[in-house]
A and B are shown apart, each in its own frame.
Chain A
Amino acid sequence: MRTKHLFLAGVAILAAVATTSAVPGGGTVSGKVTYEGTPAKQKPIDMSKEPSCAKQYATPPTTETVVTGPNNALENVVVYISAGAPDEAAPSQAAVFTQKGCRYLPHVLVFQVNQELKVLNEDQTSHNIHPLAKINREWNKSQPPGTPPIVDKYDKMEFIPVKCNVHPWMHGTFAVLKNSHYAISGEDGGFKLPNLPAGKYTVTAYHESYGEQTQEVTLTGSETKNVNFVFKAKPY
């Protein structure tokens, strides 16, 4: 089962790469997302009410509302082209969101408008996923262990906080975007948006706790433009 999911995830990544390679030889926007100040301390999650999940962790996992890396790197920031690139048809591969160990994997899932969303439950307990959509239609769906994936899609662009109606600590984000030019900042805060045709773009960085920042960038050929984002972190 697990291998299959890994395989699916692999296929999804390959498909994403394939889609973004649609304009080979274009320009690239790359850079780093960092923070300044003191970010909120992430708290350990007490899962004692759900022993089947709690026992999967030697030490309790922490919240992920602000995930940082070395040198003030800020992870889980969705960097995408919010203006300048045309809307694109959704890729045929599903975006996969997994409920495992009473957490959402990945914490931030980016996919496109009308792209298939597949929600898996790999836990021995029931979940009730509830994406708190405001622009799209809001729903919540119950998923007992061993039941087939929940399949749905969103038809409008939106950043949607996701919670579980059974386990209050479970929290994630759906980023539904209009085109395939997106990236999530990694452990070093780095991101890369390759294969952009020449043109003027608005690059937006979205963080679930710190909000949005935008920058304008103009590409003339196959050059790489460096764009950095700095978010102001607050301890509370």
Chain B
Amino acid sequence: MGKLFAVVLVIIALASAYPIATRMYVMPEDISTHGHAIDDQLSDTMKEAGFSFLGAQLVLAFFVFKFAQRKEGAKLTHLPGGAKLVVTVAFIIVGAEVFALGVLGQKAWANVYFTAPRPDALQIQAQAGQFAFYFRYAGVDGKFGAIHPDKIDEGNQNFFGLDPANDIESRDDIVSGELAIPVNREVHLLMHAKDVGHSFYVRELRIQQDFVPGLDLSVHFTATKIGRYEIVCTQLCGLGHYNMKAYLNVMAQDDFEKWMKQKASEL
């Protein structure tokens, strides 16, 4: 029975590693300038974690197999140094692994999160609320109008709480349900949550950033491929969470300008 368990252990370990080793599930094509670093890091992490996992499972299976049918009264043998040494060695190995992942991984992370966007990045404000995303562009004056949460009136499409009656800067602000951006231009996305925590996730952009009510968070990225991609909320935010999504529309510069003009004409 013990030997069978050891065999089953090996089968489970190999079967779990197989889909990852053969890349059965691949991420969709990366359309961002920073995404390759994330992908490389993810691949390194998978390799390291995968080898550690297989190694640990195989060693476990080996010992189970070897000592499965020990005779009664057989003499116990100990590793030299006892449990203390084993634990210390394990602690150092695992610690070194986690530390190495952190040191190597911070490069990919810091590239996205710890660098400032270019000064000429396109500023877009994102507002997440139950259960939709809305995006705001500054309009021709290049300035965002102030936000007044008490003025939010969704039936009137005032999702951000603008006050066009008194605030001239807000009159030309363009609000859209889809995130339209020009290709190959950096975008600085300023993120606000209206009610609870949400998350902005675009697989193709390799970006996932939470919205936190009360915090001014932001991400910046450059999309390199024209197309339409899904933006989904990946933070359980309530009843309609499953349906909280929007679309990222990466356009050629000309098309983007046309889109902005079209949106401005609807104001």
**Residue among A43, A50, A166, A168 with most chain B CB within 10 A:** A168
Residue A31 is within 8 A (CB to CB) of chain B in the complex: no
Q: A236 and B164: CB pair below 8 A? A: yes
Once the chains bind, are A128 and B240 in contact (CB under 8 Å)?
yes
With A46-B177, A49-B177, A65-B155 known as contacts, the answer to whether A125 contacts B267 (CB < 8 A) is: no
CB distance B245 to A63 under 8 Å? no
A160 to chain B, nearest CB (A): 13
A43 touches B157 (CB 8 A): yes
Chain B residue at minimal CB-CB distance from A171: B155
- A192 cross-chain contacts in B, Cβ below 8 A: none
Shortest B134–chain A CB gap in Å is 8
Whether, in the assembled complex, B216 has its beta carbon less than 8 Å from a beta carbon of chain A, the answer is: no
User: Is B137 interfacial (CB 8 A cutoff)?
Assistant: no
Contact B155 A163 (CB under 8 A): yes
Q: Are B130 and A165 in contact (CB under 8 A)?
A: yes
What does the 1/0 interface line of B226-259 toward A look like (CB < 8 Å)? 0000000000000110011111000000000000
Kindly list chain B residues whose C-beta atoms are within 8 Å of the C-beta of A126: 240, 243
With contact pairs A142-B239, A165-B240, A171-B155 given, residues A48 and B266 touching in the complex (Cβ less than 8 Å): no
Interface size on A, residues (CB 8 A): 28
A41 at interface, CB cutoff 8 A: yes
Q: Please report the C-alpha to C-alpha distance between residue A165 and residue B171 in the assembled complex, in whole angstroms.
A: 27
Which residue of A has the minimal Cβ distance to B133?
Answer: A49
Identify the closest chain A residue to B157 (Cβ).
Answer: A43
Task: Tell whether B178 is near chain A: CB-to-CB under 8 Å.
Answer: yes
Number of residues on chain B facing chain A (CB within 8 A)? 25
Chain A contacts of B155 at CB under 8 A?
Answer: 63, 65, 161, 163, 169-171
**How many inter-chain residue pairs (CB < 8 Å) link A and B?**
67
8 Å CB contacts to B: which residues of A159-215?
161, 163, 165-171, 209
Q: Which residue of A lies closest to B153 (CB)?
A: A65
Are B177 and A41 interface neighbours, CB within 8 A? no
Candidates A49, A163, A234; contact of B154 at CB < 8 Å = A163
B240: which of A47, A48, A166 is its contact (CB, 8 Å)? A166
B83 part of interface (Cβ distance < 8 Å): no
Q: Is B58 located at the chain interface by the 8 A CB criterion? A: no
Q: A63 with B177: in contact, given A43-B266, A44-B266, A168-B132 (CB under 8 Å)?
A: no
Interchain CA distance A49-B244 in the complex, whole Å: 8
Q: How far is the CA of A48 from the CA of B245 in the complex (A)?
A: 9
Known: A46-B177, A234-B165. Is A41-B247 also a contact (CB below 8 A)? no
A161 CA / B152 CA spacing, docked (Å): 14
Any A CB within 8 A of the CB of B131: yes
Q: List 24 A-B contacts (CB under 8 A).
A: A41-B267, A43-B156, A44-B266, A46-B177, A46-B178, A48-B177, A48-B246, A48-B247, A49-B133, A49-B177, A50-B243, A126-B240, A128-B240, A161-B155, A163-B155, A168-B130, A168-B131, A168-B132, A168-B159, A169-B154, A171-B154, A171-B155, A209-B156, A236-B164
Q: What is the interface of chain A, defined by CB distance below 8 A to chain B?
A: 40-41, 43-50, 63, 65, 125-126, 128, 142, 161, 163, 165-171, 209, 234, 236
B interface vs A, CB < 8 Å?
A: 129-133, 154-157, 159, 164-165, 171, 176-178, 239-240, 243-247, 266-267
